Chain A
Amino acid sequence: MTEYIVEMKQITKSFPGVLALDHVDFSIKPGEVMALLGENGAGKSTLVKILSGVHTRDEGEIYIYGKEHKGDITPVSARELGIAIIHQELNMCSHLSVAENIFLGREICKSGRLAKKEMNNESAKILDRLKIDIHPETIVGNLAISKQQMVEIAKALSTDAKILIMDEPTSALTNKEIKELFSIIRTLRDEGRSIIYISHRLEELQHIVDRVTIMRDGKFVLCDDFANLTMENIISNMVGREIKEKFPRVQCPIGKKILSVKNLNAGRMVRDISFDLYEGEIVGIAGLMGAGRTEMTRALFGIDPKDSGEIFLEDKEVKINKPLDAINNGIVLAPEDRKKDGLCTGLSVRDNIALPNLDIICNKLSVVNHKKETEMVDEATSKFSIKMPNSDVSAASLSGGNQQKVVVAKWLARDSKVVIFDEPTRGIDVAAKVEIYNLMNQLKQQGIGVLFTSSEMPEILGISDRMIVMCDGRITGELNTAEATQNKILEYATRFEKKLESEQSA
């Protein structure tokens, strides 16, 4: 018998092109909160996904309750073992009700008939215990993201899980909700449950964490009691040595104002946004998940309808009602989800680059001028050093970083004045990230205004000349590189409106 409830030894997992986990060890005792730390892409999520049956391991041993678990863990067997995971990306059936989601896959039946009332009552009880004020019959799709996450936690708890994995549970929550969550976590720990807690918000750890495991680039780094570690220890172990080279900064003179957004409103997530953008500068838009950054870029680019607001390009007002208006005015967007919005993955790189530029490369009869196309594609691919066998391979076959480059290249084949990147480095490896940063610097040196959103604070700090912080659909702060720190950004990013209200009433 060991003292551990879960032990994972020498776990290895590779995805096409990436070694996600390289002989990682991990263990947790009953009744403790274990923080699993590491930068994005360190392999934390992959590790817990193996434990919860989402992925299967390539190599390694897993012991649960001291017994070796041979073979793969499936979602069902994980649940039987008492392992529950709250996913970072919300995984809910948005058409179904809260209770239906909580009991999905293990519905209570009475003589073959769903016991709706019981499931509703049971869900109400769980939600009540967690002090979450949601009616169990509410349709999940109608709830705010933070509430959906609460439902997800309730779902995990409803299985009476002994091992609870929380992957970034607080990223979409308000301070008050985070406090509530922590008190729940403490209660669960005192009941003897083990909690694996993954978070980027290091300042939260002191409130709940007992032990810490740190990973870096898919490798195990260290495991120790939280009390033995200082914040500096933790950070230096997480980031390793590379941090200096990671953000190549280029100085270049700031030119005249090119873009000016005044009082932009679009739905609930974009409220009264005003900012300016100058030639040759990179402006980073920071904020927590759900702060409205993506929505803002979408409204600016004309994807989502605007309610009000003015946009000035080189001091001339422009109307942007659809993406084509934005493109014609020289504003382009590299969207967040490359595969969904940015690229036609079934088409070749050549076709992708040519797609938005067909007006340039076609003659009057709309026939594609092959020579012009080839010239454009060659220029674009060499300019951004896109790595590929030739331009006729499908865009899907490229790595994430190269795909991102294709997205940018296709826009820059025409003269653009403003380039908006939405989460340009999400899901790509460190080397590719650097290339994206170089690309942004390159654009900046050409006198293009670059606007980019990112959830990774070091990235915002490292690459942008100026940063705008958003919270709840509003701009809550603007910072220069010199004065900005992670703490300051976070402070602005958590300035929720509720606080303002309480100040006003006080």
Chain B
Amino acid sequence: METQVNNKKTNLLKRIMMTRGMGQVITVGSGLIVLCIVFGMINPNFYSSANVTNLLRQIAPILLIGVAQSYVLITGNIDLSIGSVVGMSTMISATLMSKGYMSPIPAMLITLLFCLLIGATNGYLVAKCKLPPFIATLGTMTIARGIAQIVNNNYNTDSIMKFFPEEAQTFKNFFYYGKTAGLYNTIWIAIVFWFIFNFLLSKTRTGRHIYAVGSNIEAARLSGVNIVYTTIKAYLVSAFCACIVGFITCATVGQGTMDAGTGYEMYAVAASVIGGVSTLGGQGILLGTVIGASVWGVLQNGLQFAGAPVAIRNIVVGVIVVMSVLVDIVVRSGRRRKKNVLAKY
């Protein structure tokens, strides 16, 4: 009886270990734990509940844009427009509210529409017009930033509290300042969307097609997968997440700033890649993106606590990105050679 239970347990463990992409999640996850221990040793306040909740709130938007980029990377493409879409989302929603055109909810809907339009354009240009994704999204990145600048005539907006003080306060609380069950709402938003998109990617047909397109686009096409729709869907998810992060930014600052989200596309690549999403497509899981975003957040926050200036933080994060991919490649080639040797005997 007891052995049976044991068997079941090992089977579950085995199955978790067998899950694709779990290897890197575990490697980087252990690295994350080491980081936390080291930062805790340097400054015990790192573990204070104030800092932990704050840290999680810092990680949340990075996780969301990480999910955005992971979706696109798994199809074998890249989305450089994420940061600009964040900025565009912030500026459009803030302008609509601060000028008194609309209360937050309709403003958000209009904003979402614009963001999804950028996402759809990205997908269409890449999959249908066969533009290299780097170029296509570089273009939309510039366009979206331009839109962010033009909506309020090249100025940051006034406070969104001006015309709808009550609704705007709810908006700010909902996206940033409020807490539910002891955690900031931002964190909850990230968790909820992570679950939704993780489900979409790992449990639905669309998700499977996204992996297939990234793994072997020709095989996917010959199997009747609609490559254009699948790619567009991935870019739509990306734009959606970026839009939500735009709302979070708007709620945080309480106004729209034109340079919001600058550089986010690269943070998103960092979070994805550290978490084991392959830039060549077909590989990676969103659990990895959680770890990747956490590594990013812990490094920023921990180094800040340790008293390191911004410049040093940037250098460290850059090194970590390169290292994590390098370790993965070395581990993988080692495994391959082992397999060859084994096959020989």
When distances are taken between beta carbons in the complex, the residues of chain B under 8 Å from A389 are: none
Interface string of A99-120 (1 = CB under 8 A from B): 0110011110100111010000
**CB pair A267 B340 closer than 8 Å:** yes
Measured between alpha carbons, how far is A137 from B282 in the docked complex, in Å?
16
- B224 contacts A76, C-beta separation under 8 Å: yes
Cα A95 to Cα B278 with chains together (Å): 11
Interface residues of A in 160-186 (CB under 8 A from B): none
Whether B218 contacts A95 by the Cβ 8 Å rule is no
A91 with B219: in contact, given A139-B20, A268-B343 (CB under 8 Å)?
yes
Q: Are B344 and A271 in contact (CB under 8 A)?
A: yes
Of A105, A107, A267, most buried by chain B (CB within 10 Å of CB) is: A105
Residues of A within 8 A of B203 (CB): 113-114, 116
A130 is an interface residue with CB less than 8 A from chain B:
no
A495 within 8 A of B: no
Flag if B219 contacts A92 (CB, 8 Å).
yes
With an 8 A cutoff between CB atoms, is A87 at the interface? yes
Which residues of the other chain, B, contact A105 by a CB distance below 8 angstroms? 209, 212, 220, 223-225
Whose C-beta in chain A lies nearest to the C-beta of B21? A95
Closest to A76 in B: B224
B319 an interface residue at 8 Å Cβ cutoff? Answer: no
Considering only CB atoms, which chain A residue lies closest to B200 in the complex? A112
Q: Are B219 and A75 in contact, with the CB atoms below 8 A?
A: no
> Within 8 Å of chain A (Cβ to Cβ): is B8?
no
Residue among B218, B223, B282, B343 with the most chain A CB within 10 A? B223
**Which size bracket describes the interface of B in this complex?**
20 to 34
- Tell me, in angstroms, the Cα distance from A268 to B341 when the chains sit together: 7
- Interface range, A side: 20 to 34
In this assembly, does A93 line the interface, its C-beta being within 8 Å of a C-beta of chain B?
Answer: yes
- Cross-interface CB contact of B340 among A85, A101, A137, A268, cutoff 8 Å: A268
Most chain B CB within 10 A, of A79, A100, A104, A139, is at A104
Given A95-B215, A105-B225, A268-B344, CB of A112 within 8 Å of CB of B208: no
B176 within 8 A of partner (CB)? no
Tell me whether B222 and A114 are in contact (CB under 8 A): no
Prevailing SS type, chain B contact patch = helix
Interface contact tally, CB-CB below 8 A: 76
Tell me which residues from 118 to 144 in chain A have a Cβ below 8 Å from any Cβ of chain B.
137, 139
Chain A at the B interface: SS class: loop
* Partner among A91, A94, A96, A267 whose Cβ is within 8 Å of the Cβ of B218: A91
In chain A, residues 60-110, which have Cβ atoms closer than 8 Å to a Cβ of chain B? 75-76, 79, 85, 87, 91-96, 100-101, 104-107, 109
Contact A112 B204, CB 8 Å, known A54-B222, A75-B221: yes
Tell me the minimal C-beta distance from B83 to chain A in angstroms.
28
Contact B205 A94 (CB under 8 A): no
A93 B282 Cβ-Cβ under 8 A: yes
**CB-CB contacts of B114-126 with A at 8 A, as 1s and 0s?**
0000000000000
**Would you give the 0/1 interface string for A289-306, flagging 1 where the beta carbon is closer than 8 Å to chain B?**
000000000000000000
Give the interface centre of B219, B283, B343 by most chain A CB atoms within 10 Å: B219
A114 to B207, CA, bound (A): 9
Closest to A78 in B: B224
Contact of B204 with A113 in the complex, beta carbons under 8 Å: yes
B215 proximity list for chain A (CB < 8 A): 93-96
Q: How far is the CB of A346 from chain B (nearest CB, A)?
A: 13
Contacts of B225 in A (CB 8 A): 104-105
By beta carbon, the residue of chain A nearest B225 is A105
Q: Are B205 and A87 in contact (CB under 8 A)?
A: no
| Known contacts A107-B205, A109-B205; A96/B211 CB under 8 A | yes
Contact with A along B279-299 (1 / 0, CB 8 A): 000110000000000000000
Most chain B CB inside 10 Å of its own CB: which residue of A93, A109, A113, A139: A93
Kindly list chain A residues whose C-beta atoms are within 8 Å of the C-beta of B214. 95
Which of A87, A92, A101, A106 is in CB contact (< 8 Å) with B224?
Answer: A106
Shortest beta-carbon contacts, A-B, top 9? A105-B223, A93-B215, A105-B224, A91-B219, A95-B282, A104-B223, A76-B224, A95-B215, A267-B340
Could you show 11 A-B contacts with beta carbons less than 8 Å apart?
A75-B221, A91-B218, A93-B219, A94-B216, A96-B282, A104-B220, A104-B223, A112-B204, A114-B203, A137-B18, A268-B340
List 13 other contacts, CB 8 Å, given A95-B215, A95-B282, A95-B283.
A75-B222, A75-B223, A75-B224, A93-B216, A95-B214, A96-B215, A104-B225, A105-B209, A105-B225, A113-B204, A139-B20, A268-B343, A271-B344
